[in-house]
Amino acid sequence: MASGGEQKVVLITGCSSGIGLRIAVLLARDELKRYHVIATMRDLRKKDRLVEAAGDTYGKTLTLLSLDVCSDDSVRQCIDSVKDRHIDILINNAGVGLLGPVESISMDDMKKVFETNFFGTVRMIKEVMPDMKKRRSGHIIVMSSVMGLQGVVFNDVYTASKFAIEGFCESMAVQLLKFNVKLSLIEPGPVHTEFETKMMEEVAKMDYPGADADTVRYFKDVYIPSSIDIFEALGQTPEDIAKCTKKVIESSRPRFRNLTNSLYTPIVAMKYADESGGLSVHTFYNLLFNFGSLMHITMSILKCLTCSCLRRRTISPD
């Protein structure tokens, strides 16, 4: 980390909207001006929203660079353009979603999800890690998901990409600890973003060639309405996730895993309560197919289950 009173250099991927934009602005607006934020995005033509949100911090505590996490050359050029290639905090936020019956998803589309969500993050870590290890200092933040801990029906490929990055980071954290480099996972549940809203609207209208009629019906008529209910009952905002991330950055002993939503702790705990896996599989089956009409009641029960002992397992934005 930066010594003395120097600003810490924070590089964030995926800042054109949503969580990445909010993290960049929150850190750039830090009252003590502790951070110099390098906000990156693949297409700089999409910078207007970030520039507007950054206000008078733009060009001062926040600068903007082009970066495509799926390109070796782009990643290298971006880091080369940073003074002394010195990054104190890397926040891997860039990601893409994929939703629907797996029979109707092409292998190319699946590979694109892994190219961004998994290999894109690995590519960034590989580029900044050697310098952090050499300095015996640094913090790598990875935006994971509660879906990296618990599989969710019809999110098969996205979930797999998050499971992959969780396993990678869990392995890397051991080595990095020896070099005094910290690695932290941020694990949000549902987050209200334009991306999610748009995706929900689009998938409800799409055709799904290759998938049988029953599966398409379960997806459109059962999963989508239930998913919307869950978002309304449990969803956080990008600002919430940004505040949680800032807390992790500023912690003297940051945790490796950081669930942001205490309402999801019973779901995760249920998985580890039964080593056979049957409890979580059958619970999700019943929630989706047998108790769909009772989803609002289910959400209320989940809120009641989230007692103070479970809240301690999460990092709150407040």
40 is in an annotated binding site: yes
64 marked as part of a ligand binding site: no
281: how many CB neighbours lie within 10 A of its CB?
Answer: 14
**H or E stretch at 170:** helix 156-178
d(CA 141, CA 35): 15
Q: What pairing do the DSSP bridges indicate for beta strands 89-92 and 139-143?
A: parallel
95 carries a ligand binding annotation: no
Q: State yes or no: 32 annotated in a binding site.
A: yes
Q: Does 178 appear as a known binding residue?
A: no
Q: Is 142 annotated as a binding residue?
A: no
As beta bridge partners, residue 187 has 259
The reply to whether 98 sits in an annotated binding site is no
313 is annotated as contributing to ligand binding = no
* Nearest alpha-carbon partner for 262 in 193, 187, 165, 150: 187
Q: Confirm or deny that 129 is annotated as ligand binding.
A: no
DSSP assignment of 236-295, as one string? B-HHHHHHHHHHHHH-SS--SEEES-GGGHHHHHHHHH-TTSHHHHHHHHIIIIISGGGH
The reply to whether 94 sits in an annotated binding site is no
> Would you say 34 is a known binding-site residue?
yes
138 is in an annotated binding site: no
Q: Is residue 148 packed enough to be buried (19+ CB in 10 Å), middle (13-18) or exposed (0-12)? A: buried
Could you list the beta-strand ranges (E) of 16-166: 35-41, 62-66, 89-92, 139-143
Q: Which residue has the tokens 């992790």?
A: 248
Per the annotation, does 288 bind a ligand? no
160 is in an annotated binding site: no
142 contacts 169 by C-beta, under 8 angstroms: yes
18 is in an annotated binding site: yes
3-state secondary structure of 134: helix
Known catalytic membership, residue 158: yes
* Residue 299 backbone phi and psi in degrees, to 5: -60, -40
The catalytic residue among 158, 218, 223, 264 is: 158
Residue 21 marked ligand-binding? yes
23 is in an annotated binding site: yes
15-31 residues labelled b (16+ CB within 10 A) or e (exposed): bbbbbbbbbbbbbbbbe
What are the φ/ψ torsions at residue 68 (nearest 5 degrees)? -115, 110
Binding-site positions for substrate read 145
Binding-site positions for NADP(+) read 14-42, 68, 162
Catalytic residues: 158
Binding-site positions read 14-42, 68, 145, 162
